[in-house]
Amino acid sequence: VRAVLLDPSCSGSGMRHSDTSYDPERLKHLSAFQKRCLKHALSFPNVRRVTYSTCSVYREENEDVVIEVLKEFGSDFKLIPCIPKWERRGLMDCEGLTKEQSKCLLRVDPEKDLIGGFFVACFQRKKKKRKRLSKKRREKKRRRLLLDE
């Protein structure tokens, strides 16, 4: 598995015709489930990109999930911009996210955009830096290659 599109169960608060009132207890359970799902997706050893989306407008299911997951996976993954030309980005006042990270997130506001609201975050695995061989080891490797010819 190299790429995952994760769209877990959510409150549906971004749906224009839904009657989803703000329920902190329900959001607590939903966000815990969403965090578990996202952590699982990021734990696949060969996964390079994970896209997380919800049809929610609530911070608890969006930025807060991303913040919590980055605490554990931030050394291996970074946020990358999704649909860079889209105007509305992640919330800028979130403790735990830099402004650059918030700019990578995408939000759709049902009132302003006249479509269902949703959120998207794209995680990309960071490239591991290769250790540079010492001059002595490079020479030894070159000799071995020459001998094999």
Instruction: Quote the CA–CA distance of 48 and 120 in Å, as a whole number.
Output: 17
Nearest C-alpha neighbor of 81 from the set 120, 27, 43, 53:
120
Q: Note whether 141 and 119 are within 8 A (CB).
A: no
Phi and psi at 111, nearest 5°, equal: -75, -45
Annotated active-site residue 55? The verdict is yes
Instruction: Quote the CA–CA distance of 13 and 21 in Å, as a whole number.
Output: 8
Catalytic, out of 37, 55, 94, 104 = 55
Q: Which two tokens stand for residue 111?
A: 């009132």
Q: Give 98's Cβ-side CA count (13 Å radius).
A: 8
User: What residues are labeled active site?
Assistant: 55
